[in-house]
Amino acid sequence: NAGVMQNPRHLVRRRGQEARLRCSPMKGHSHVYWYRQLPEEGLKFMVYLQKENIIDESGMPKERFSAEFPKEGPSILRIQQVVRGDSAAYFCASSPPGTRGYEQYFGPGTRLTVT
């Protein structure tokens, strides 16, 4: 059973470009969470999704950031018109149904660098 998969592992974007980060949850997991980790800081919650639904986006910046988890395919975190402050590691986690968000398993992260 493969773990949570994220790609790309490293992404470099120039200011103003778009960044697309992908997350495939563990097999059988239907809940996906995105977190952002700034250098030498803890992880900050961004958004929680189930298939085709955004359940909680209270941690998402109001502008430029969006997330989806379609019926088929991976979850996508999209950052439009990136700025230097978006440089961070972005982790997704997944949990199985029925666990109420407990036991979140993390992917290896995507390290975004904005130049």
Partner 1 sequence: GENVEQHPSTLSVQEGDSAVIKCTYSDSASNYFPWYKQELGKRPQLIIDIRSNVGEKKDQRIAVTLNKTAKHFSLHITETQPEDSAVYFCAASRPTGNQFYFGTGTSLTVIP
Which residues in this chain contact partner 1 in the complex, by CB under 8 A?
Answer: 4, 31, 33, 35, 40-45, 48, 55-56, 58-59, 91, 95, 100-109
Amino acid at 19: A
CB of 20 to partner 1, least distance (A): 20
Q: Which is nearer to partner 1, 15 or 44 (CB)?
A: 44
Q: Which is nearer to partner 1, 17 or 87 (CB)?
A: 87
Residues in the chain: 115
CB of 81 to partner 1, least distance (A): 26
Q: Which is nearer to partner 1, 17 or 105 (CB)?
A: 105
Q: H/E/C letters for each residue in 1-35?
A: CCCCEEECCEEEECCCCCEEEEEECCCCCCEEEEE
Amino acid at 86: D
